[in-house]
Amino acid sequence: MSLPTPYAPNTTHTVPARSSVAVPLSPSQKLTVTNTHGTQVIDFWAFEVPLGAPSSAAATKQELTTYLSMPHTRASLLSLSPIAPCTLSTNQRTPILKFISDSSGCIHDTLIPACDIHRYHQLGVAQDQYHANCSDNLRMALSRDTPGYTLPAPFKTPTSTVPDPLNLFMNIPVSPLPQPLHESNSSAGGALSFQPTVCEKGGQVAFEALVDCIIVMSCCPQDLVPEVNGGVVNDCHFVVEG
């Protein structure tokens, strides 16, 4: 199926700092994401479009229940994070994207959830103050970037939670305990830490759609943990081919 999109193919588009985009892809279309400044973390989701999904102004909102899943991808790849080339899996254990190339240093994260307003309250933002966050950015992108659909958009995230994103360019090392809990598993109970991205300016990752899907990208607004985004939130860029 051909989904309407505000993002013309073969054209460079911007994901604004602190904001997000929702980009429909058809099978075999490719998406290249550029970390323009080298320091920006991008929360990345992919949602499979249901068969018979609405494509007109008469559409009604549908829940996107099949999506890129970090736990299922880890189980499929037997790896903490994907290394191109590989195939990324959904929560239904079906393929959704090929991760086809990576010039960014190959360090990405699958463990840390999307930031939300509760995270920023924990970090000191006053309870009556708002802070942009990736969870809200996901919802807003799905509502905004769907021309030809009724508003709010016909697609919505699962109501119970925001799926864990693929955190592009995010560097979260797992450090084994000084004394392993058991010789058969030296990483059990290992510590996580936030570290600066290893990506340089202009580093890129590229994906190929295997099904009709909607990609959502959020330039993470995190500015209170200095290791993330270098303490400064920037934009990034992307191109759809095919």
Check residue 99 and give its pLDDT: 99
Q: Whose structure tokens read 């073969």?
A: 10
Instruction: Check pLDDT > 80 for residue 239.
Output: yes
> Is 104 part of a structural domain of the chain?
yes
H/E segment holding residue 35: strand 30-35
> Is 93 part of a structural domain of the chain?
yes
Among residues 62, 44, 37, 31, the alpha carbon closest in space to that of 163 is found at 44
Predicted confidence (pLDDT) per residue in 102-144, tens digit: 999 999 999 999 999 999 999 999 999 999 999 999 999 988 8
Predicted confidence (pLDDT) per residue in 78-113, tens digit: 999 999 999 999 999 999 999 999 999 999 999 999
> Is 178 part of a structural domain of the chain?
no
What's the token pair of residue 151? 């508003």
> Is 130 part of a structural domain of the chain?
yes
Predicted TM-score (pTM) of this structure: 0.91
> Is 1 part of a structural domain of the chain?
no
Domain encompassing residue 155: 13-173+191-241
Q: Is 55 exposed, middle or buried (0-12, 13-18, 19+ CB in 10 A)?
A: middle
Asked if 228 and 220 count as a contact pair (C-beta separation under 8 A), the reply is yes
> Is 182 part of a structural domain of the chain?
no
The total domain count for the chain is 1
Check residue 218 and give its pLDDT: 99
Bridge partners of residue 174, in order along the sequence: 192
Check residue 160 and give its pLDDT: 60
Highest mean pLDDT pick, 36-40, 148-152, 175-179: 36-40
DSSP string, 43-94: EEEEEEPPTT---STT---EE---BB-HHHHHHHHTSSS--SSEEEEBTTS-
Residue 138: how many CB atoms within 10 A of its CB? Answer: 24
Predicted confidence (pLDDT) per residue in 179-199, tens digit: 889 989 988 999 999 999 999
Check residue 57 and give its pLDDT: 42
> Is 8 part of a structural domain of the chain?
no
Check residue 59 and give its pLDDT: 43
Highest mean pLDDT pick, 61-65, 156-160, 174-178, 201-205: 201-205
> Is 224 part of a structural domain of the chain?
yes
